Amino acid sequence: MKKITKAILTGAVIAGMFMAGGCNNSSSGSSSPKTNESALMQKIKSSGKLTVGTASGFPPYEFLDTSASDGKKIDGIDIKLAEAVAKKLGVKLEIQDMTFQSLLSSLTTGKVDIAVSAINPTEERKKTVDFSDSYLEGKQTLLVRKEDAGKYKALSDFDGKRIGVQKSTIQEKLANEQIKNAQIVALPKVADALLELKTGKVDAVPVQNIVGGQYLLTNSDLSATNIYFSNYSGGAAVAVPKESADVIKVINEVIAENKANGNIDKWVDEMTKKAVENAKK
Q: What is the pLDDT of residues 128-186, one digit of tens each?
A: 999 999 999 989 999 999 999 999 999 999 999 999 999 999 999 999 999 999 999 99
pTM of the model: 0.81
Name which of 157, 161, 100, 106 is nearest 129 in CA terms.
Answer: 106
Dihedral (C-alpha) 200, 203, 208, 211: value to the nearest 10 degrees?
Answer: 20
In the CATH scheme, what is the homologous superfamily, with its name and number, of domain 39-137+235-280? Periplasmic binding protein-like II (3.40.190.10)
Bigger pLDDT: 278 vs 192: 192
Sign of CA dihedral 161, 164, 169, 170: negative
* Confidence band, pLDDT 50/70/90 cuts, at residue 271: very high
Q: How confident is the model at residue 14 (pLDDT cuts 50, 70, 90)?
A: very low
In this prediction, residue 279 carries a pLDDT of 79
In tens, the pLDDT along 75-120 reads 999 999 999 999 999 999 999 999 999 999 999 999 999 999 999 9
Q: How is the chain split into domains, by residue range? A: 39-137+235-280, 140-228
Q: Do 39-137+235-280 and 140-228 fold alike per CATH?
A: yes
The secondary structure of 224-239 as a DSSP string is EEEEE-SS----EEEE
CATH of 140-228, one of 3.40.50.1370, 1.10.3720.10, 3.30.70.1140, 3.40.190.10: 3.40.190.10
φ/ψ bin of 279: left (φ > 0), alpha (ψ from -120 to 50), beta (otherwise): alpha
In whole numbers, what is the pLDDT of the chain averaged over residues? 89
